[in-house]
């Protein structure tokens, strides 16, 4: 007689626990971060600050004829005719030309320095914080060349210290149907997982065994902030609407006295040099800000990306 086992699909939970009150209770905040590997803050950022970033990003999509102008551009209705054959560049969701224009926006690089963002990490780390300058945006235009980001951990793409936390910020309301982010609480305790090649941003998918952990999803609202440690397992949900753009940003933070890999100090995807991106900025206060820190650089280790000893 033979027996067989059926893989259990993870439980899906809708709705994060709001950690905002814990910003006044640092020890409890750190305990929750250590337990779950993520923190969620409902409405932490002023809506008007986030929506101004959205407005400027939508302007870029208008320039490149990716969204309709016969409707409110802030709603992000896709110009299906113009994006049908678009080739998304490096998982950014748009063309290289559009992403270059985005990376030149000072407001995009200023948002991670918002006092409310720095408050999270000074409370979490209890020591000086380094915001990474390699800021990432996902302007996920529904088109055949775009795929949801696969299940993954950020560490294999970042390296340096594992104590890097990604802040995922929706630039506007993102209901689950529009394809927000899902995280697996407690998955940071699994260690660095092996990967296989996959479609979507990053190109690598974490190999998950039957770990018995749920997925948590959320109906995000403007001003929300989700943050997680670099070994937390997470993924994006598919855009089931198909006619609207999903806009979000990824900003990263770490204790300033821990190791950082040099590429984290360069523009994302090396789309241009910093001098080029800074050329039209009206002020200088954030230019090369990380040079004021006494940073410890660690070398890139390609082996980390292709561990094979920890498969199921």
DSSP-assigned states of every residue in 237-273: PP-SS-SB-EEEEEEEEEETTS-EEGGGGS-GGG-S-
- Sorted by where each starts, the structural domains of the chain and their CATH numbers stand as 12-306 (2.60.120.620)
Q: For residue 183, give Cα distances in angstroms to 97, 110, 186, 188, 292.
A: 31, 26, 9, 10, 34
Q: How far apart are CA 29 and CA 48, in angstroms?
A: 27
Band (pLDDT 50/70/90 cuts) for residue 200 is low
- Could you read off the pLDDT of 249-291 as tens digits, one per residue? 999 999 999 999 999 999 999 999 999 999 999 999 999 999 9
The pLDDT, as a whole number, for residue 1 is 40
* pTM score of the predicted model: 0.94
User: From the CB of residue 107, how many other CB atoms can be counted at a distance below 10 Å?
Assistant: 13
SS3 call for 275: helix
Q: In this predicted model, which residue has the larger pLDDT, 10 or 42? A: 42
Q: Residues of the chain with pLDDT > 90: what percent?
A: 76
309 falls in which pLDDT band (50, 70, 90)? low
Q: Single out the residue of 93, 114, 135 nearest to residue 48, CA to CA.
A: 114
- 234-252 tens-digit pLDDT: 999 988 888 999 999 999 9
Confidence of residue 176 (pLDDT cuts 50, 70, 90): very high
End-to-end CA distance of the chain: 25
Q: Across residues 89-97, what is the average pLDDT?
A: 91
Half-sphere exposure of 309 (CA within 13 A, CB side): 4
């Amino acid at each position: 007689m033979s027996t067989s086992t059926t893989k259990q699909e993870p439980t899906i939970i809708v709705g994060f626990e709001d950690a905002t009150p814990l910003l006044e209770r640092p020890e409890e905040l750190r305990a929750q971060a250590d337990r779950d590997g993520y923190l969620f803050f409902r409405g932490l950022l002023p809506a008007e600050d986030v929506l101004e970033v959205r407005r400027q990003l939508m302007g870029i999509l208008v320039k490149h004829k990716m969204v309709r102008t016969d409707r409110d551009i802030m709603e992000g209705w896709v110009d299906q005719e113009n994006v049908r054959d678009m080739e998304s560049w490096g998982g950014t969701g748009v063309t290289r030309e559009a992403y270059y224009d985005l990376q030149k926006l000072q407001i995009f690089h200023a948002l991670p320095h918002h006092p409310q963002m720095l408050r999270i990490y000074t409370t979490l780390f209890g020591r000086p914080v380094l915001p990474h300058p390699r800021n990432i945006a996902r302007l996920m235009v529904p088109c055949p060349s775009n795929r949801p980001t696969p299940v993954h951990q950020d560490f294999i793409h970042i390296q340096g210290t594992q104590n890097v936390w990604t802040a995922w910020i929706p630039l506007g309301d993102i209901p689950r149907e529009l394809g927000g982010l899902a995280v697996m609480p407690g998955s940071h305790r699994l260690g660095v997982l092996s990967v296989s090649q996959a479609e979507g941003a990053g190109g690598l998918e974490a190999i998950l065994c039957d770990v018995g952990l749920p997925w948590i999803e959320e109906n995000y609202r403007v001003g929300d902030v989700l943050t997680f440690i670099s070994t937390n397992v997470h993924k994006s949900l598919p855009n089931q609407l198909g006619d609207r753009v999903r806009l979000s940003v990824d900003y990263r933070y770490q204790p300033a006295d821990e190791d950082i890999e040099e590429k984290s100090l360069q523009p994302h995807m090396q789309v241009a040099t910093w001098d080029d991106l800074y050329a039209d900025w009206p002020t200088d206060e954030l230019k090369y800000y990380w040079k004021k820190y006494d940073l410890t650089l660690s070398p890139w280790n390609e082996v980390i990306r292709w561990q094979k000893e920890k498969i199921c």
